[in-house]
Amino acid sequence: MPKEYIPILLFLLVAISVPVLGLLAGKVIRPGGFFFRASRNPAKLTPYECGVDTEGNARDRYGVRFYIISILFVVFDVETVFLFPWAIIYNKLALFGLIEMLIFLGFLIIGYIYVWQKGALEWV
C-alpha cells in the first residue's frame, strides 16, 4: 500500500527543485548574483515604509484577536477532522450515526453560541 506514495515523494523532489533551479538560474544572470555586481546602497536594504525613514522595529505588539481566532480555529478544525471518518462510513452507521453526529454537532453548536455570546467573533 505505501508504494502508492512513492510518486508523491518524487513530486516533492521535483517541487523543491523548481524554486532552487529558478533561483540558481536567476543568480547567474541577475545583478548581485555570481557574475554581476549590484549597486551598494544602505537605503535599499531598509524595510519599506512608503519612502520615509524606517521608524522603530516591526517586532512589535499586535492585536490579541489574532490569537483568539487561531485558538478558535484549532477547536473547530479538529471538530471537522473528527467528522471526516464519520462521513466515510455514514451508510454503515445509518440512523445511529446520524444521532451520534447530531449530539456531537450539538455540543459544537453550544460552544459556538458561547463563543459568539462572549464576543470572541466580534472584530471591532
Partner 1 sequence: MENILSGWVGALVVIPLIKIAIIVVGITLIVLAMNWIERKAIAHMQIRLGPMRVGWHGLLQPVADAIKFLLKEDVIPERADRWVFILAPAVALIPAFIVYSVIPFGPGKTFIVTDINIGILFLIAVSSVGILGIVLGGWASNSKYPLLGALRSSAQMISYEVAMGFAIIPVLMAVQSLSLVRIVEAQKELGWWFVFLAPVGTLSFFLYFFCGVAETNRLPFDLPEAETELVAGFHTEYSGFRFSLWVLAEYANMITVSSLATLMFWGGWLRPFPNVSALSFLDVIPGLVWFLLKMSAFLFLYIWFRATFPRFRFDQLMRLGWKVFLPLGIVNTMAAGVILLYWPGK
Residue-wise DSSP of 64-83: THHHHHHHHHHHHHHHHHHH
Q: Determine, following the binding rule CB under 8 A, whether residue 119 of this chain makes contact with partner 1.
A: no
Q: How far is CA 123 from the centre of its chain?
A: 20
Q: Determine, following the binding rule CB under 8 A, whether residue 21 of this chain makes contact with partner 1.
A: no
Q: Determine, following the binding rule CB under 8 A, whether residue 16 of this chain makes contact with partner 1.
A: yes
Enumerate residues 6+ apart whose C-beta is below 8 A from 75: 111
Task: Write the binding mask 55 to 94 for partner 1: x where contact by CB under 8 A, - elsewhere.
Answer: --xxxx-xx-xx--xx-xx--xx--xx-xx--xxxxx--x
Task: In angstroms, give the least distance from the CB of 68 to partner 1.
Answer: 10
Task: In angstroms, give the least distance from the CB of 96 to partner 1.
Answer: 11
